[in-house]
Amino acid sequence: MSDLRLDATQLDRYSRHVIMDEIGPEGQKRLLEGSVLVVGAGGLGSPAIQYLAAAGIGRLGLVDDDVVERSNLQRQIVHSDDDVGRPKVESAADYVAALNPDVDVDTDETRLTPDTVADLVAGYDVVLDASDNFATRYLLNDHCVLTGTALSHGAIYRFEGQVTTFTNDRDDHADEEGSDRPCYRCLFPEAPEPGTVPDCATTGVLGVLPGTVGCIQATEVVKYLLESGELLEGRLLMYDAMDMSFETVDILANPACPVCGDDPAIESVRDGSYEGSCSLSAD
């Protein structure tokens, strides 16, 4: 860790972190030196961006190729009515700048592809996947597994959400039997056929739902950077807003997984298939 010192303004801003034994000044320095790439500045990305910026994550990368629409505002809370028509990354960056001047923001108004993913992810400590399609999820998963980059996954649908964390550290996060932790392909080996999962324009989404799920993702990222607490690695947290219930199920590593298994078929994102944009989350 560098010799970064908290100035008087930072000691005031982060005082509720600094006084906690589990964080303290050293932990806040970790956050200020940390970097997170948020893929998607919509429903899930909005609360994640808010709380990561407020926590003092030193560098945030924002990737999204969409513009703000008025129908987004019911849940995408870093944008306002005045932002309609603006690129989401620009609107979100302005929000962060107004919230916390300690945070440097890099924006990319683009969509992840096998050609761009390496450059976009490079240099970040962890990736927060707030995307709304399977193609991006599988692409991010494969790249993060292959490069050993930590990945926070979240998804929402109508009244339900799910969150898990993949640290992708194949050496340090093996279980007692020595098998590796799972990846997204272990959890969902194949995407549903295009058109079989409706999007939010068809089914709707509870506006506050992505707030809960995105905040949990941000919590996982903060814990990862602090190297503190128990992550959701190897566990899928499922949330039902209508029942106000949470359930956690184990995710098992799949020895036949094509990217993290014993005999992987995907050794480069060039080997994967990422066509289509079947929408899952109501982003």
**Across all residues in the chain, what is the average pLDDT?**
91
144-150: long-range pairs with CB below 8 Å, 24+: 144/168, 145/183, 145/259, 145/260, 146/259, 146/266, 146/267, 146/268, 146/269, 147/118, 147/121, 149/121, 149/124, 150/125, 150/126, 150/224
- What's the average model confidence in pLDDT over 6-22? 97
Residue 236 has pLDDT above 80, yes or no: yes
Dig out the tokens for 222 from the structure: 């903060």
Separation CA 251–CA 249 (nearest Å): 7
Q: Residue 179 has what pLDDT?
A: 46
186 is a catalytic site residue? no
The helices-and-strands tally (H runs, E runs) of the chain is 10, 8
Dig out the tokens for 115 from the structure: 């050609």
Dig out the tokens for 176 from the structure: 């007692």
- What's the average model confidence in pLDDT over 126-147? 96
Separation CA 262–CA 276 (nearest Å): 28
4 or 88: which carries more pLDDT confidence? 88
Q: Is 101 exposed, middle or buried (0-12, 13-18, 19+ CB in 10 A)?
A: exposed
Separation CA 188–CA 268 (nearest Å): 19
Q: Residue 191 has what pLDDT?
A: 82
Please tell us whether the domain made up of 14-271 is placed in CATH 3.40.309.10.
Answer: no
Q: Residue 190 has what pLDDT?
A: 86
Dig out the tokens for 206 from the structure: 């509870």
pTM of the complete model: 0.92
Separation CA 48–CA 41 (nearest Å): 9
- Residue 98 per-residue DSSP state: H
Place of tokens 């566990």: 235
Give φ, ψ of 23 to 5 degrees. -120, -75
Active-site option among 144, 183, 186, 200: 200
